[in-house]
A and B are shown apart, each in its own frame.
Chain A
């Protein structure tokens, strides 16, 4: 203790934090078990009680984490130690608690949302399962970021992956869910293997499983560990080219789960990256360049894919990929600036990346929740079947609009508040003095600028097509407003989006003073005042208001089919970025006569090549299938060959043991 006179106070706080943490964890565990107690006689009461318990649990853990951050505590707790080396122990410091707060707060809202959302599923059994799985998933995520050993980290990481896998497989009758599940499972396991490899390598060099500063690692070993960590974490965070599971899994799972997966689970690998970059290693320059490169590509391609998508939840998922790219760009820039000792810019980037992590968690989970309500109300995920929903679901629409503005990085909301930190770092990097590197940075800057406006275009399209104009289908015109809990949860998050945007300067200066950032509060006030003044001035004109039909070039009555469609909206950008989309246009025409003048039949098709799936994933899968085929050929043999196999195996073992000893 640095301050002996306060030591008793701090110990008090530590005791409080400790008990809150354990109680919260225990409550989450209780919430996991509770719905499953009477599995054969599912009861609504137990399920609802479990959700309330879970609410209390996430609340308690968040409170503990906030306490740690505000008092700058650093706690070590141990749950279980198998051997002194292999222990499930936790460390609550500022960084891990920042992520605990994100997970806790978003989960809190997701649980509120689930209270009514779960009810719309048909089977009672599956409802119980969903409530239980949700609790376990949340608990696992909380414990991953709190873990202080690589052993515990990997243990809870696997629990998190498995529980989320079961939640993705919730609607397992649908073929798309099965595809999503297989994709998710195989990719997340691949990621885990890389993590395992890097943790074992780290153990080989440091001789300990603790996540703490690692020194005396040879240069090549450090690089190897980093690459392995990057692939492992990148797979989970949806960094392109390891992203393919993400749109499938997010669209197939129930909306409360996708809100959690996208809003929160994607942040866990970010925690891992930050922890290892800041605390464990002293990063090399090329780490930063790798992160910057993949981050920029991910951000740009993510939003370009999102723009084309007309499955609402897939679009949001691609948008998550984009935002994760932006966060990784921030981390990469931090490494680069830190390497050259540009303190201000490095601080801007790391705090920008962390702030964007928080902001993305807020607006993305809010968007996923409102999207879930929309999907629930219309029964479809295709935005071309929606339209006019703002009149039928005004609350959901307004919350979605706030989320859309935030994710589109419009000032003075929070999405902009964090992106400007990264922009600011880019623009003030003139003191770097390394021309070649600087040119690379400028390419990254252009990519980031394009990304953020494309996000604005994407969400103008999403909001416009889903909520504005006329309904495009019967289901959309019969949509009903979501129940109160499903408005409250995303509403809280949307309010936080506005708050963290407008008060971003004050918040950031609280954490780190002297950041060269604009103050958003006066901007917010002036915009509000100007809007009000214009409104009042316009009242003075006393213009009469008339309502009439939309002008349609004299067509007597228009229908929803005549409106501009989502695909129509995205067409110009798709054409501009044709090389990226790799659009395939096929058209065939048949004719009755040889002069090709009387058409018989024709067909046209426009599709996009799924580049990564068709050129990267499938070839790799084919390669492994080939190996598997070769191996399975070894199995289909007669008795003699099998005896030969065991003979060879025994010889190999004997030789191996002899060599080892």
Chain B
């Protein structure tokens, strides 16, 4: 009896409702994210296809709209192959780490006014922490596969992610200084006082550094060295197949969406826009995110790939000094004004 008494207290019901609401929010966000990932792949193949004078997927459904579903079903039912001499537990857990890290970043991002799973004071730091966790999935999958190509891919990726995380973190410092907060909702609200309701203009330098570092952080072209198919065949996930491969794929695309979301909430005013769109409070946010995702594809269709040492020197010799300069300028401006 005493255990029940201690557990069921007068406010237990309220707590349960709160937990229920949080769970519901999580379900909504994850479902929306998965749907977006599925159609981000379709959108990628279509838009790059048209840039490259071809059609993209056309077979499954009208104009291939059911292609992502077919792909998902195929990946789900494919055999999960484990290489001989692979470190099995580590091999199994690596894609899970990647996916979890990518998904948890979504929990602190406000999608519209008042809608955020966890409105915590250290939102930005949390995202940085999760992206550094994501690197583990890549490194240990490269090691556990017991393959030289994936090992090289893992090493490259770890070096790349660590270097660019510094630049990315530093580029966000300017935003933190201007908003005086690490809470992402506060950052969005603080932008309302600036021209066009965005930080992108006063934080031009930081925005630039963030975009470049963000592309590198998500291992997308032209910084897709860890998975450079012409050099390392597919890099760290060359030995993965089936659902585990799909997890890496998902986490890469969710990572892309997360970086776009951070860019939007930190530099482009989040859910606010030049005028309000009734009944769809997240319309502006989605539009901006779609623009960024298109930007990713656009770059992929245009640019060749950097070489490993060039990537490193770009990160350390250009982006980090620029980000530091941005901090100094922001600090001085804040003191003067």
Do A and B bind?
no
